[in-house]
Chains A and B, each alone.
Chain A
Amino acid sequence: MSTATENMAPPTTAGHGRATGPAQGLDVEAIRADFPALHQNVHGNPLVYLDNGATAHKPQAVLDTLAQYYGRDYSNVHRGAHTLSERITSAYEDAREKVRTFINARESREVIFVRGATEAINLVAQSYGRANLRKGDEILITELEHHANIVPWQMLSDQTGATLKVAPINDAGEVLLEEFERRLGPRTKLVAIAHVSNALGTILPVAKMTQLAHEHGAKVLIDGAQAAPHQAIDVQSLDCDFYVFSGHKLFGPTGIGVLYGRAELLGAMPPYQGGGEMIREVTFERTTFAEIPQKFEAGTPHIVGAIGLGAAIDYVGAVGLDAIAAYEHSLLQYATQRLSEVPGLRIIGTAADKAAIVSFVLEDVHSHDVGTIVDHEGVAMRTGHHCAMPVMQRYGVAATARASFAMYNTFTEVDTLVAALHKVKEMFAR
C-alpha cells in the first residue's frame, strides 16, 4: 500500500481551516493553511513536522492574538482603573473562562495560570504536598511518567519523609491495574499519573485509576500535557483533584499552562510564591492572601500568553476535539502499519489504547543518527530519552526515535517519514 491519502483521509469540508462539527471529520488542508510555520523547506525539502509531543506549531489566529494584545490592548491586569487595564483584564479573565469550558471545570477560579505542566506539578507538590504529607505517607506514580511527574515528587519525598511508589507497566506499555491497585493503601496520600505517555503514547485509564485512588482516600493529579491537544478533557467526569497541561503543546504560546484544582483543595492550600497580586492586605507584621485563583498567581502573570492560549482553545474548539481525536487515530493506525513494514524497525509502546505517538528503534542504527538523517529529508522528529529515562530502562534502550502527530499532519507525511527511514537503512547498510 503506497499511500492512503485518497481513501483514508476524512472528508473535507468547506471553510477556512475551522469549522467542522465534531462528528464530521476535519479538513486537514484548510487547517494546514492556518499554520504558517508548516510551510517551509528544511534542507531543500518540505518540512514534515512530527515533533508535536515536544511542542506544536501555532495557528495564525494565535499569532494575531499575540500581536493584538502586545500591539494595542496591552497593560497590566487587575491594576489600574484605566481603559487599557480594564480591556486586558477582561481578556485575561475571558481566557480563564475558556480554559474552564475546555476542561469542563465547575468554576473558573479553579483554573490557575502557570508556566506550564511542569510548574503546575511543582506547585501541587510544594503547596499541597508539603502542607499535607508526613513521614510514612506514600505518593504513587507509574513507571511511564515523564521526569516532570517524577522529580517533583522525589523532591517532596526528600522534604517530608514520604515514600515514592511506582506502579509497573507491561511490555505493551500499559499500566498493570492490579499492580497499581496493590500499591494503594491507607498511607497513599497522592497519586500522580499521566493521562497520555509522552514516550509510549499509551492512554491511561485515568478515570478508573482515579476512582481506585479515591477509594483509598488519596488525592489524584493527572498530567495532561500529552492529552489536552488530542482529546476532549472533562475534569468532572474524570473526577480528578488536579489536572495540569501546557499551552505550547496545545498550539498556544510557550510559558503558559494550566493547573486545575478543586476549589476546596486550592482554597485550603498555602500559596506557592509570595508577591504582588496574590495578597489581600500586607503589613510588616502580617499578610493576608487573596482568594483563588489570584492566591496562586503572584507577580505579573504571562498575560498575553494566557490570552493566546484562549485563542488556541478557540481554534481547537472550532475544529472539534472529537474530530481531532478520530483523525489522529486514523493517522496512528496508518503510521503503525507503514512503520511496521520497515525491516528492523521495532515499535516501543504498543498499548491497545494509544494516542498518535509512535516511538521506535531501528536495528543497528542509533536514534540520534536516525534523527539527523531524516531531518535532511525535511522530517522533524524527536530522538533521545524523551525525558522518560525509566521508560527507556524498562525497554532496555538508551533512546528511541519518536514520531508524534497533530491534527495538521497528513497521511502523505507518514509516507515521507517511511521513505526517509529507508534512506537511513540504505546509508547504514553499506
Chain B
Amino acid sequence: MSDLRDLYQEVIFDHNRNPRNFGKLEGANHQAEGFNPLCGDRLTLYLKVDEAGIIQEVSFDGQGCAISVASASLMTEALRGKPVAEAEALFQAFHDLLTDGHGHELDLGKLKVLEGVKAYPSRIKCATLAWHTLESALHDEEQPASTE
C-alpha cells in the first residue's frame, strides 16, 4: 500500500482529524459555498479581506472526505496574510500541481502534500473544492462553487 500512502500522508490525516481554522468567521466580508455534486461534499468559506486587499482572516466549515477537508484546512493556513492576487496565483500553481504537475515558480510549501492526488483523477475535485470556493468568495458569486 506504499502508493496509497502517497495520497494519504500523515499531514492529511492530521488536518482531517483536526482541521485548522474550522468554524464560522464572525465579521467575514466575503463568503461562498462550495459543493461537489459527485460525492456530496459541501463547505462554506469565510474571508476577511482588508482595504489593502490582504486576507486577514479565513475559515471554513462543512463536511467532506479526508482529502477535501485537509485541503481546505491547509488552504486556510496558506492564505492568511496573503494579498488576494497572490492567493489567486497560489490556486493556479496548486491546480497545475494536481493536474499536470509541471514546475512552478511559486513555493507551495505544505500544500505539496496533496500532490499525491494527481494519481487519482477522481479525487482531484476533492482537493480543489476549497480553492474553487475561494474563487467564488473573492468574486462574491451567489451560486455555490461547483467542481462540475
Binding site for B on A (CB under 8 A): 43, 365-369, 372-373, 376, 383-385, 389, 392, 398-399, 423, 427-428, 430
CB distance from A360 to the nearest CB of B (A): 15
- Would you give 26 A-B contacts (Cβ < 8 Å), ordered by A? A43-B3, A365-B66, A366-B64, A366-B65, A366-B66, A368-B39, A368-B64, A368-B123, A368-B126, A369-B65, A372-B4, A372-B7, A372-B122, A372-B123, A383-B39, A385-B39, A385-B40, A392-B40, A398-B40, A398-B41, A398-B63, A399-B39, A427-B4, A427-B8, A428-B66, A430-B13
A399 to B7, CA, bound (A): 21
CB distance from A335 to the nearest CB of B (A): 23
CB distance from B62 to the nearest CB of A (A): 10
Binding site for A on B (CB under 8 A): 1, 3-4, 7-8, 10, 13, 38-42, 63-67, 120, 122-123, 126
Q: Is the beta-carbon distance between A369 and B13 smaller than 8 angstroms?
A: no
A43 to B115, CA, bound (A): 19
Chain B residues whose CB sits within 8 angstroms of the CB of A366 once the complex forms:
39, 41, 63-66
Q: Is the beta-carbon distance between A399 and B40 smaller than 8 angstroms?
A: yes
Q: Is the beta-carbon distance between B66 and A369 smaller than 8 angstroms?
A: yes
CB distance from A320 to the nearest CB of B (A): 37
Given contacts A366-B65, A369-B65, A376-B4, contact A384 B13 (CB under 8 A): no
With both beta carbons as reference points, the residue of chain B lying nearest to A430 in the complex is identified as B13
CB distance from A390 to the nearest CB of B (A): 12
Chain A residues whose CB sits within 8 angstroms of the CB of B66 once the complex forms:
365-366, 369, 428
Which of A367, A368, A398 is the one whose CB lies under 8 Å from B42?
A398
CB distance from B70 to the nearest CB of A (A): 11
A399 to B63, CA, bound (A): 11
4 tightest A-B CB contacts, nearest first: A398-B40, A366-B65, A368-B65, A399-B40
Chain A residues whose CB sits within 8 angstroms of the CB of B64 once the complex forms:
366, 368, 398
Give 4 A-B pairs besides A373-B4, A376-B4 with Cβ atoms closer than 8 angstroms: A368-B126, A372-B4, A372-B120, A398-B64
Q: Is the beta-carbon distance between B1 and A376 smaller than 8 angstroms?
A: yes
Which of B1, B63, B65 has the largest count of A CB atoms less than 10 A from its CB? B65
Chain A residues whose CB sits within 8 angstroms of the CB of B120 once the complex forms:
372
A367 to B126, CA, bound (A): 12
A180 to B71, CA, bound (A): 44
With both beta carbons as reference points, the residue of chain B lying nearest to A398 in the complex is identified as B40
Q: Is the beta-carbon distance between A389 and B40 smaller than 8 angstroms?
A: yes
A372 to B38, CA, bound (A): 14
Chain A residues whose CB sits within 8 angstroms of the CB of B7 once the complex forms:
372
CB distance from A268 to the nearest CB of B (A): 38
A180 to B62, CA, bound (A): 35
Chain B residues whose CB sits within 8 angstroms of the CB of A376 once the complex forms:
1, 3-4
A423 to B4, CA, bound (A): 12
Chain A residues whose CB sits within 8 angstroms of the CB of B126 once the complex forms:
368
Chain A residues whose CB sits within 8 angstroms of the CB of B42 once the complex forms:
398
CB distance from B113 to the nearest CB of A (A): 15
CB distance from A419 to the nearest CB of B (A): 13
CB distance from A219 to the nearest CB of B (A): 32
A369 to B65, CA, bound (A): 6
A423 to B5, CA, bound (A): 13
A121 to B63, CA, bound (A): 34
Given contacts A366-B65, A376-B4, contact A398 B39 (CB under 8 A): yes
Q: Is the beta-carbon distance between B38 and A369 smaller than 8 angstroms?
A: no
Chain B residues whose CB sits within 8 angstroms of the CB of A385 once the complex forms:
39-40
Chain A residues whose CB sits within 8 angstroms of the CB of B67 once the complex forms:
368-369
A366 to B126, CA, bound (A): 12
